[in-house]
Amino acid sequence: MDISNINKLDNKRFTKNDAGFTCKNCGKKVEPLRYTSRNHCPYCLFSLHVDIMPGDRKNSCGGILEPVLSEPSADLKIGYVITFKCKKCGTKVRNRAANDDDVNLLIELTNPERHKMWKNAKNIKYIQNVLQRWC
């Protein structure tokens, strides 16, 4: 078996790109992960639609990817998988959650209807009233 062809295929499917960045959604400074490529902001979970294959930065869309769903993976090693929807072109993409992602947001995104309610809340009083009804 020719291993060189397998390595070439792997290189085409994943390009390590672990640069830090400033989030276009929340404005926070995001540090590199150091163990794999950083794909999204760990604070708000938003990303940019810049990859065709993971890490290649070859997608010309450049739209903001909004997290719309989070699902626990059947493989416990993977953890959560986040589904994003591009605000510019509507494409949906999925990516693994990182170890430093906001766990509360990941859990909140497991229920998209509840997440919409929080996202659309206009003020803290509204949120407090909803919490009182749920608790």
Residue 18 confidence (pLDDT): 74
pLDDT of residue 8: 42
pLDDT at 1: 38
Model pLDDT, residue 5:
40
pLDDT per position as a tens digit, 108-119 = 899 866 655 555
Residue tagged 């998988």 (tokens):
81
pLDDT tens readout for residues 40-76: 999 999 999 998 888 888 999 999 999 999 998 888 7
Question: What's the pLDDT score for residue 76?
Answer: 75
Tell me 53's DSSP state: S
Distance CA 48, CA 40 (A): 7
Give the per-residue pLDDT at 36.
76
- What whole-number distance in Å separates Cα of residue 81 and Cα of residue 77? 11
Q: How much is the pLDDT for 128? A: 66
| Residues 31, 34, 38, 42, Cα dihedral to 10° | -50
Residue 14: predicted pLDDT: 67
**What residues does each domain of the chain span?**
3-134
- Residue 24: exposure state from Cβ atoms within 10 A (0-12, 13-18, ≥19): middle
Checking DSSP bridges between strand 80-86 and strand 47-48, what pairing results, if any? unpaired
Higher-scoring residue by pLDDT: 105, 18: 105
Hey, is 52 helix, strand or coil? coil
